[in-house]
Amino acid sequence: MRDLFAFLRHLGNLCHKEFLAVIKDPATRVVLIVPPILQALLFGYGATYDLTNVPYAVLDQSRSGYSTQLLARLDGTGVFHRVATLDSPRDIAPAVDSGSALLVIHIASDFERTLQGGLPTEVQVILDGRNSTTASSAAGQIRTVVAAFNASIGQAAPLPVSVVTRAWYNPNLETRWNILPGLIASLSMMQTMMLAALAVAREREQGTFDQLLVTPYTPLMIMIGKALPAIAIGLIQSGMILLVALFWFAVPMAGSVFLLFAGLTLFTIAIVGMGLSVSAVSANMQQAMLYTFVLLMPLVLLSGLATPVQNMPEGFQIATFLNPLRFAIDLVRRVYLEGAGLALVWKDFIPFICIAAVSLPLAAWLFRNRLA
Amino acid sequence: MMGTHGFWRRLISLTRKEFRQLLRDRSNLMIGIGLPIVLILIFGFGLSLDVKQASIAVTMQDRSPQAREVVNAISQSTYMTVVPAESLAEATLKLDRHEVDALLLVQNDFSRNLSAGHAQVQLITQGGDPSRALVIQGYIEGAIGTWSQKAADRAGNVRVRGTSTGVMVTERMWFNAANDSTWYLVPGLIVLIMTLVGTFLTALVMAREWERGTLEALFVTPVRPVEILVAKIIPYFCVGMLGLFLCLVAARLLFNVPLHGSLLVLIVASMIYMFVSLGIGLLISAGTKSQFLASQLAILASFLPAMMLSGFVFDLRNVPTAVQIVGQMLPATYFMQLAKSLFLAGNQWPLIVKNCTILLAYAIVVLGAARIVTRKKLD
């Protein structure tokens, strides 16, 4: 009992020292608070696949009532904005090449005649494929507008089967609702892992590691002392981003905050374990940071943050099972947006526990080995 | 004459020292060469916005031949797999567990409504992943639209042969006829890798020298600040160019992304951007003089924006004006635009001249500032 008390007291002292080491520098304090919030804001606004502004040019050789009607419908969407009216097919290439128009709509001179005559009538759309994702969704919108136009002029019989679509958990299909929960896990991960990786490397570089060794603390205690502040900072950052998502962007939260943070805590422990392992193999701070970065890049890219995991080829999908961030993002999205309970997301906890169970002892072992 | 001779001699020996320092530490090579290769593989093979495999839980409350035909039409699509679900509850559970991407419900009044000419099927998608949900919706609408068109044709009672179905849209995707997102991700990767080497690696290495005081040790030698800077820049410039070379080889041999524009222009533009990127790295290190702060600032000020706000993945046209302005202030945005255009659209001279001028201006400003900051510290 006495031993346990002494252990906790020692641990408390160690954590106190590590906390001070991290936050005593005012510039570091700023770097731990401002960037996550700033990034959450910037990416919340900037990371979007939603089509809100499509600049287009028109080559209307028909200049008929019908073509005007069709174009008016397009302008009425609020998404398409006409930036140029072209006079000849020669103008199409410059308009697209310069990037001033994402697409050009070409209506041939016989448009109204063929349409009234019941002949096949075409509208040609030339798209700038330099960003093929935006171009494809713009094309999809044009098809919808044209279908509505056809129905309005009574040319096309309504199709006998229609599809009524509802999107669960995100009725307007806003990218923001998908990105922000993902940021709760990924933004805090970047700094947490870096902090953990620097924890030992900094002492080694400054020569204070040897001083720690002559204290009565065991390597395990030293490691826990280094892990706890990093975990706490990671969770605080996640909390800040959660607040930005909830109150600034007003993305409604459906699930339990408790479950969310239970998962995030395990995730952060796994991340800190990975960071400490990196720290133990690095000779100095520079190496620790470079190795961490080399590790972070694939973790973020293959996490499903910006591109869905299900779109990846199978080999990559299997590789993502080693990526704790993939499961953290899945967990946060499902708890936050879908209100999923433990019964639905417990599987996401397994990778965190496995990675923590491997990386923390590994870090402790590496410390001891480097000490010998 | 003596002066210039001394300049070159000092510069060469300093550069040689920097090269040795760079090569000595394996972690530098990992960022300079290892990471670009990993990124090329991930971006080329791993990341995709193209939905190739979607599974749809289908609950058929109506099992009439027409309803089966509709479901068949969906399962025949190469992109979609139909997972039968006995009841709506079962299908919902599959959707909640993320075992399927969407749920299609054929209600029991389907065939009755169909003979009346206004049947409906219900589709429920996962809004948690909006881009995927939209694509899947498009696939389903396409498959069912095609089927109902055929059904209408067969019935012959909706349209008379020879009449049109109204206006048809023909699309032509310029510059990327295959509509393959790899084509625009790979050119963007060049920007990312050069930012990484130029800003992140350089900021880190220089901040380390400031932090440990080894730069001050250099200051007491006869070398001039400009020589220190140039000698620092040269090795990292070479590493950045190596990254460019790796990307070009991968684009050509691995991913068959065509380079429609001039290779020379691309290389020159990359060199200019490399100077901008190096200058930002030098500025950050001189400003922070701490490895941790420099690394965080480098990621924050250059790398993340280059990835998220330069039009790499997300189109700047769709973001709010304030974010657009931030994006437009980034040198990465101009190089990104140029790289994509050179690869996919060819030599657009007005764009080349405009963006190269902007990048050149950035290079002069940041390198000049780096020079001033480094000199001040000597006093």
Q: What is the pLDDT of residue A200?
A: 83
Q: Which of B96, B125, B351 sits opposite A98 (nearest CB)?
A: B351
Q: Which of B96, B131, B138 sits opposite A175 (nearest CB)?
A: B131
Distance (Å) from the C-alpha of residue B329 to the closest C-alpha of chain A? 14
Q: Which of A8-17, A159-168, A258-267, B336-345 is least confident?
A: A159-168
Average pLDDT over residues A332-344: 90
Query: In chain A, which segments carry CATH 3.40.1710.10?
Result: 54-152
Instruction: Tell me which chain A residues have a C-beta less than 8 angstroms from the C-beta of B27.
Output: 282, 286-287, 290-291, 294
CATH homologous superfamily for A54-152? abc type-2 transporter like domain (3.40.1710.10)
Q: In terms of CA atoms, which chain A residue is nearest residue B200?
A: A290
State how far the Cα of A232 lies from the Cα of A325, in Å rounded to an integer: 18
Query: Strand B102-106 vs strand B119-126: parallel, antiparallel, or unpaired?
Result: antiparallel
Q: What is the DSSP string of A65-115?
A: HHHHHHHHHHHHTSSEEEEEE-SSGGGHHHHHHTTS-SEEEEE-TTHHHHH
Q: What is the pLDDT of residue A159?
A: 62
The answer to whether A271 and A197 have CB atoms below 8 angstroms apart is no
Residue B162: pLDDT over 80? no
**Minimal CA–CA distance to A14: which of A225, A258, A171?**
A225
Q: What is the pLDDT of residue A157?
A: 57
Q: In terms of CA atoms, which chain B residue is nearest residue A37?
A: B300
Instruction: Tell me which chain A residues have a C-beta less than 8 angstroms from the C-beta of B74.
Output: none
Instruction: Tell me which chain B residues have a C-beta less than 8 angstroms from the C-beta of A308.
Output: 51, 129, 131-132
Query: Does A167 contact B345 at a Cβ distance shorter than 8 Å?
Result: no
**Minimal CA–CA distance to B313: which of B200, B135, B126, B186?**
B186
- The 10s digit of each residue's pLDDT in B11-64 is 888 888 888 888 887 778 788 888 888 888 888 887 777 777 889 999 999 888
Residue A225: pLDDT over 90? no
**Minimal CA–CA distance to A191: which of A238, A245, A239?**
A238
Residue A339 contacts B, CB cutoff 8 Å: no
Q: What is the pLDDT of residue B366?
A: 93
Residue A279 contacts B, CB cutoff 8 Å: no
The answer to whether B102 and B56 have CB atoms below 8 angstroms apart is yes
Percentage, residues of chain A above pLDDT 70: 97
- The 10s digit of each residue's pLDDT in B74-88 is 888 888 899 999 999
C-alpha torsion B44→B200→B336→B261, nearest 10: -70
What count of Cα atoms within 13 Å lies in the side-chain half-sphere of residue B49? Answer: 24
State how far the Cα of A291 lies from the Cα of B296, in Å rounded to an integer: 14
Indicate the SS3 state at residue A60. Answer: strand
What's the pTM value of the predicted model, to 2 decimals? 0.84
Q: Which residue ranges make up each domain of chain B?
A: 17-47+182-376, 54-155
Give CATH for domain B54-155: 3.40.1710.10
Provide the β-strand partners of residue A56: A82, A103
A:B CB pairs within 8 Å? 349
Distance (Å) from the C-alpha of residue B163 to the closest C-alpha of chain A? 5
Residue B375: pLDDT over 70? no
Q: What is the pLDDT of residue B377?
A: 56
- The 10s digit of each residue's pLDDT in A76-95 is 888 898 998 988 888 888 88
Model confidence at A237, pLDDT cuts 50, 70, 90, reads very high
B287: its two tokens = 């400003």
Model confidence at B161, pLDDT cuts 50, 70, 90, reads very low
Q: Which of A366-370, B50-54, B201-205, B271-275 is least confident?
A: A366-370
Instruction: Tell me which chain A residues have a C-beta less than 8 angstroms from the C-beta of B291.
Output: 285-286, 289
Residue A372: pLDDT over 50? no
Q: What is the DSSP string of B227-293?
A: HHHHHHHHHHHHHHHHHHHHHHHIIIIIS-----S-HHHHHHHHHHHHHHHHHHHHHHHHHH--HHH
Distance (Å) from the C-alpha of residue B6 to the closest C-alpha of chain A? 32
Distance (Å) from the C-alpha of residue B31 to the closest C-alpha of chain A? 7
Model confidence at A307, pLDDT cuts 50, 70, 90, reads confident
Q: What is the pLDDT of residue B156?
A: 58
Residue A130: pLDDT over 80? no
- In chain B, which among 4-23 make CB contacts under 8 A with chain A? none
Residue B195 contacts A, CB cutoff 8 Å: no
Query: Does B119 contact A161 at a Cβ distance shorter than 8 Å?
Result: yes
Could you give phi then psi for residue A124, rounded to 5 degrees? -95, 135
- The 10s digit of each residue's pLDDT in A37-64 is 988 988 888 877 778 888 999 999 988 8
Instruction: Tell me which chain B residues have a C-beta less than 8 angstroms from the C-beta of A255.
Output: none
The answer to whether A58 and A85 have CB atoms below 8 angstroms apart is yes
- The 10s digit of each residue's pLDDT in B111-141 is 888 887 778 888 988 888 887 888 888 888 8
Distances (CA, A) of B82 to B70, B120, B147, B166, B229: 12, 18, 16, 32, 62
How much is the ipTM here? Answer: 0.81
**Minimal CA–CA distance to B35: which of B170, B142, B189?**
B189
Residue B163: pLDDT over 50? no
Chain mean position to CA A265: 19
Q: In terms of CA atoms, which chain B residue is nearest residue A151?
A: B166
What are the residue ranges of helices labelled H in A100-254? 111-116, 132-152, 175-206, 209-213, 219-243
Instruction: Tell me which chain B residues have a C-beta less than 8 angstroms from the C-beta of A37.
Output: none
Query: Does A156 contact B166 at a Cβ distance shorter than 8 Å?
Result: yes
